[in-house]
Structure 1
Amino acid sequence: DKEFDGFFMKTAYRYPVRTVAPGAAVDPADMTPVHSLRPKSVIVSPVDGETLAPGAVKIQGAAWAGEYPITSVEVSADSGRNWRPAKLGPDKAKYGWRFWETDWSAGRTGSYVLMARATDEAGETQPLVEEWNPSGYLWNVAQQVRVEVSTVPAQPRVEQTPTVPPFPPQVKGACIGCHGEDMIAGQKLTRPQWGREIDKMTRWGAPVKPEDRGAIIEFLLSHFGPRH
């Protein structure tokens, strides 16, 4: 008969009710709880950076949503200018995955950007441009996969594992208890953004000592700032 008033509904899992500029501070009064999932899809084949031979290519992936099942997936092979429907798998259920595939004729050599966007039963479709929010909740912008069509055989792919620097004790104590190092490494925030993130986590209970705050921000900015 009323909204749950626990910590995560009142404080943590919230996003803006209006469009805000990237990095801007948001008044708590302008935030609402995350209460549903938006439609999302991923391309699993081909993979980003793959070189393909001209001819028939099967593009495959999966889509999922929340309370409303996935009803369609569209695929583009020209950076989103034109779209074609994909064939959906038989599974159709709320909160469930739905596999999809489509055939693409890669007739000319060159670079291509493949994209996929899903639509759920409520009519919501993945956006092509994502609206920013402080915690990145409900991020579901249409994925882009870049491929090269070439008559030259592809060279074996060498996977490069990003190097994550050793985390100093104060950063481990404040951050690693709740977040993996790879998640922190992917943020790429500015100094003000890291400062707000540290202050937010401190309010949520992260053990950040006042005397360590500056050193933590300096480490995060030096290794995981916008230029990295």
Structure 2
Amino acid sequence: MSATAARAAGALALAVALVGGCAAPSAQPPGGSATTPAGSTSSDRVGPAAPPAPTADPTGPAPAAGIDVPVRDASPEAVQAAAVVAPVRVVYPGLEIDMPVDAVGVAPDGQMEIPPDAARAGWYRFGPTAGADAGATVIASHSGSEITPRGPFHRLDRAQVGDPVVVVLADGTEVTYEVTSVEGIAKTVIDLSRYFRRDGEPELVLITCGGRWDDVRQSYDDNIVTTARLAGS
């Protein structure tokens, strides 16, 4: 394998490596306050702990065990990501979601970066942008955070098939999708790698945490993954 190909493969592996915390420090279960309960952890993961091999699973600022990622990525994926028009807003009228989107990458701890405020979402900039001809556009947000105890994505478990979702790009372009599935997937079995793809039919993937709040682990049990296809496709 050439050095260029190796870098490309490594970047893709990191792209699907970990989706970390869906709840930032002091995030609360539904109805909770912004005060951190005694013994709480600093984050709530979207996926399982990182395996030693480069498998997959990307969202959050929480520390990841055993996966170190360089801050700067010179791979072909990174170069391509820098050239696309980034999403800046996601609007889901049926759930009253209208929130800004920040371009994010992979943090030094191996996690996909997510804005610490649950009122903001993060677009994985090493994957396709909204409206791309192929691949999945991944946008993730904390379900709750210290800044915003209950974020807009907290409502994603109420998504309905056929609902429209609009992603607004930096140049003003609006890309409309229609929800095709809503899944609550236990974190003990989840593998999010299939959502971080650069080929196949274009789709939008929205990710957050949900399900039952576990007071002992200070974490939600599930990940809520909502997928949508381009409207009219």
TM-score, scaled to structure 1: 0.27
Higher share of residues assigned helix: 1
TM-score, scaled to structure 2: 0.27
